[in-house]
Chains A and B, each alone.
Chain A
């Protein structure tokens, strides 16, 4: 048994003894020389110099293309601008204010501030929301709580299905 383990261990540890390397042949020095030259040539390819005449032609073509592009892009005709101004003039101040109120959230704050001349700010009435009160203050309690016993109050609350701890939150 002991000798079997010993043999197995020996066999396992000697694995490199049973591997024979084959020599890797390398190419001749010319191969490396030409590789170096090839890489140098590729890495140092100078930028092609464009002849002067060709450069003029290229720049002229680019300029012509830019002008053509500008002319072809549709622009709004002046008459359309005039029509829009006339339509806006026809609106009453009330219509404009009503539109602004309805679409107030769509406006950018900076745009709104910029639209109002600074000297007129004080004359513009601010639109404010009045909060509806959730409760009213009673100046005089209908019942005199001082005369009520704590036990009666707790009994009342229990009958009404109310919890005193819930009342704390109100």
Chain B
């Protein structure tokens, strides 16, 4: 593992109306690291991810992407987001575009790549998620698992420094979860830096380097996944891990199809 810091979050806070969702969070993600954030719903996990790629403006605190402080005034947000890939719970594929066009539109419109080059790159990214034969399909013609894999390819195409996953399998039927986890595991093996919010404990245990347990806007505990699973410091962490494993089972990252 490399020691370069890709993301550094320092004392981040965010409130909506009266309620404080994130109450001072600090977090570091190093190059090629896979960090999984777990915790009960409504504890600010998604908000944290959205703050990191500036889709949500934090109230206070600072965030760095590599050496650049992206919370500094006059930061070009669009530029920052080009370097941070994001995968959403409900896929959010562009409905009017084919799978291939979904992957290439960022290349042609944002990076101004010429269409031929973008097409080659797009097909290669679809190949990476095992969907090159679906290049001409529209989102409505894809299964949930396929949609999410296209969404991953779309984010990968921009060659991001880090990929953020916001509960990527929560909207999927159980039998489709494996194929998405499989792609994510492959990415991790290839050395992609990843920050993943998920309830998939099998994935957390087998793929992640570090687990962060969040509750009520705080980080309760974080540590290497082995330690978090087998010897957590806090009872609360143990309780949560026990409950969540019972609830969601232990989907293991499936094999690529």
Genuine A/B complex: no
**Using a CB–CB distance below 8 Å, which chain A residues touch chain B?**
none
